[in-house]
Amino acid sequence: MQEFSGPERELLRRYCTNVERRTFALRGLPEVVRGALFSRYSRTEKSLRRVLLDEFLRDPAAGLDTGDAGADHLVDAARAEDFYQRVLVGYGDDSVAELAGAHVAVESVSNLAAKALEDSRVGLSPLEKSTRYVRFDRPGAGGRYAYHRGPELAHAAYEPAVDALFATYSELVVPLTERVRESHPREPDESERAWKTATRARALDLLRGLLPAATLTNLGLYGNGRAFEYLLTKLAASDLPECRGLAGELHSELAQVIPAFVRRALDERYGAPAAAYLVEARRRVSELAPRRGLARPPDGPEVRLVEHDADAERRVVAAALFPQSDLPLAELGRADVEVDVVLRALLDGRTNRRHRAPRALEHAHYTFEITANFGAYRDLQRHRMLSQERQLLGTALGYDVPPDLAVYGMDGPFRKAVERAGEAHRAMEPALGPALAQYAVPLAFRLRWYFRATLREVYHLCELRTSAQGHPDYRYVAQEMFRRVREVHPRLAAYARFVDMGPGDGLERRASEQRIDRKLAELGG
Ligand SMILES: Cc1cc2nc3c(=O)[nH]c(=O)nc-3n(C[C@H](O)[C@H](O)[C@H](O)COP(=O)(O)OP(=O)(O)OC[C@H]3O[C@@H](n4cnc5c(N)ncnc54)[C@H](O)[C@@H]3O)c2cc1C
């Protein structure tokens, strides 16, 4: 640390959380400068603080005003941007665009668009409005239910069917909440807040199948420039005009905070041809893909394990031994070791689901084909550490009615509205095409998708998504996924101890809400 003079330390302190230790964070710098600064790591022997001093703070072109000791936000964004461009040209590669990020809010977009915005694995973190805690029948613009309308959806059947779905949701929500409360009265030591929240969540969970894919929602995305760039390209290539419009909107907002990172995203040289390639590939494959209408929809959701590694145990054991050995992986695969003993050594001692299973489990792969309702898909699609693709949302695979709705005598109106929407979908499909017809389809209808996941992600997904507080529809899928793995690999599955195969207690949020109460009490609130 002797390398810095007194005035240098003074200056650095404004931008670094310490000037003494080897670990520090940057502050008071615009995102572009952080990105440019980090990008220099790969090309310099200097310490980062030295680069900051020599190449940024002392270079007026960097746009950092170091004159005013009082101000922490010392940015001339335009100058910083120009400077960044030069750094990028001089030293950069594509990964430099991962070194700065942005928070963006995207509001009033359909559930279809939300899924497209959330369909990124690396570098983007979304958070979306929940159908469990928020009522979706509040009027939107013009006093009408909040769902996507647009010139591309001009079809006589669309709006009446979608309005009917929302009207049914709206009619049922209050009486259903009352019925849930009668069935699950407040417990003696339960607060009114916890009970009301848990029972309301249950009612909203039961009704969410009525919400059409067109339902407007809000989401926030935090991500790095590179992830945003690819997201913009994918949106620009979408078959939905709504998503193509979002590509432009998102781009112009991002261009205000991280312009250098998204400059190419939609331009003529890089972005537009990349999007054109995606569009063209989809068109070509679509012409080749065989299709066969279903004679009869399945009776319920289905989870099939369509592929798994026959020698998964051997692979996992070899990978577990590898870091501690000096033998090649192939030889470890033939080593004379007890599978049980190695698995126990590797996995014993996980005392909760947050104790991550080790990477060795990534050597076993599983492909699941899942047919379940769009509501369950919508939740499970959020898992990023796997490969997944879905087919278009339609009506051929049938729909699910939550069994409790029949118990409460409210399945009739639910079915009526869902079936009417199904008819609208079938009328719209030939006229508008299958992609646009998706907007009319409510979350109760099933679709088919695949997950290709490693055993490590199976542990994570199944332990998280079978927890008692989860929605019963995705709990069922996660439980079935786990059953399939346990059937083929009982010894590998045995250590996923936090998978909850129980039936659920009918009031999923109750225990969680009571836990929140206890935490609030501890905090004195
Ligand atoms: C009960 C419940 C309620 C939920 N409610 C909401 C809600 O209201 N709104 C909402 O939007 N979502 C909600 N979710 C979804 C949730 O936010 C996650 O998107 C989803 O559960 C996927 O989990 P994951 O990120 O752990 O899994 P994966 O994406 O499969 O990732 C596996 C693991 O990899 C690591 N990882 C993956 N990506 C990153 C990254 N970018 N940075 C750091 N680590 C990473 C993490 O350790 C993660 O646990 C809810 C989930 C549950 C279970």
Whole-number Å distance, alpha carbon 471 to ligand 1 midpoint, is 15
- Asked whether 396 and 434 are in contact (CB, 8 A), the reply is no
Mean pLDDT of 384-412: 97
Report CA(368)–ligand 1 centroid distance (Å).
Answer: 20
Residue 134 pLDDT exceeds 50: yes
**pLDDT digit string, tens, across residues 463-516:** 999 999 999 999 999 999 999 999 999 999 999 999 999 998 778 778 888 888
pLDDT band at 525 (very low <50, low <70, confident <90, very high): low
146 or 35, higher pLDDT: 146
470 CB near ligand 1 (under 6 Å): yes
pLDDT in tens, 312-370: 999 999 999 999 999 999 999 999 999 999 999 999 999 999 999 999 999 999 999 99
- Residue identifier of the C-alpha nearest atom 26 of ligand 1: 383
Instruction: Please give the backbone phi and psi of residue 63, each rounded to the nearest 5 degrees, phi first.
Output: 80, 15
Distance CA 191, CA 186 (A): 8
Confidence at residue 71, expressed as pLDDT on a 0 to 100 scale: 46
Query: In this structure, are strands 101-110 and 387-390 parallel, antiparallel, or unpaired?
Result: unpaired
Q: How many Å apart are CA 460 and CA 463, to the nearest integer?
A: 5
91 band by pLDDT with thresholds 50, 70 and 90:
low
Rounded alpha-carbon distances, angstroms, from residue 346 to 318, 324, 334, 339, 340: 12, 12, 18, 11, 10
Evaluate whether 478 touches 458 at the Cβ level (below 8 Å): no
Is the CB of 134 inside a 6 Å radius of any atom of ligand 1? no
- Whether ligand 1 lies within 6 angstroms of the CB of 512 is answered as no
Residue 327: CB partners within 8 Å, gap ≥ 6? Answer: 321, 335
Distance CA 251, CA 103 (A): 13
The best mutation among 109, 133, 352, 383 to test binding of ligand 1, ranked by most ligand atoms within 8 Å of the C-beta, falls on 383
User: Are the CB atoms for 77 and 102 separated by under 8 Å?
Assistant: no
How far out from the chain centre does Cα 274 lie? 23
- CB-ligand 1 contact for 426 (6 Å cutoff): no
Among the atoms of ligand 1, which is closest to the Cα of residue 130? 8
Determine the atom of ligand 1 nearest the C-alpha atom of 356. Answer: 47
Q: Tally Cβ neighbours within 10 Å of residue 472.
A: 16
Q: Which ligand 1 atom is nearest residue 126's CA?
A: 11
Is the CB of 128 within 6 Å of ligand 1?
yes
**Is there a contact between 461 and 356 (Cβ–Cβ < 8 Å)?**
no
Q: What is the pTM of this model?
A: 0.91
Q: What number does the ligand 1 atom closest to the CA of 125 have?
A: 41
**Closest C-alpha to ligand 1, atom 15:** 382
What per-residue confidence (pLDDT) applies to 28?
A: 85
Q: Is the CB of 383 within 6 Å of ligand 1?
A: yes
User: Hey, whose CA ends up nearest to atom 19 of ligand 1?
Assistant: 382
For residue 236, report the distance from its CA to the centre of ligand 1, in Å: 26
Q: Which atom of ligand 1 is nearest to the CA of 384?
A: 29
Q: Are 176 and 485 in contact (CB under 8 A)?
A: no
pLDDT score for 74: 44
Nearest CA to ligand 1 atom 23: 383
By DSSP bridging, strand 387-390 and strand 365-373 are: unpaired
Query: What is the DSSP secondary-structure string of 24-36?
Result: --B-SS-HHHHHH
Give residue 461 CA to ligand 1 midpoint distance, Å.
9
- The pLDDT assigned to 359 comes to 97
Give the model confidence (pLDDT) of 460-469 as tens digits: 999 999 999 9
* Residues 156-179 pLDDT 10s: 999 999 999 999 999 999 999 999
pLDDT at 47 over 50: yes
Rg, Å, the chain Cα set: 27
CA–centroid distance, residue 465 to ligand 1 (Å): 10
Asked whether 382 lines ligand 1 (CB < 6 A), one says yes
Nearest to 207 by CA among 247, 244, 147, 166: 166
Q: In terms of Cα–Cα distance, which of 313, 436, 299, 303 is closest to 380?
A: 303
Candidate of 379, 469, 474, 515 to mutate for ligand 1, largest count of ligand atoms within 8 Å of Cβ? 379
Could you tell me if 342 and 350 are in contact, meaning their C-beta atoms sit under 8 angstroms apart?
no
Give which of 296, 247, 242 is closest to 271, Cα–Cα.
Answer: 247
pLDDT above 90: percentage of residues in the chain: 73
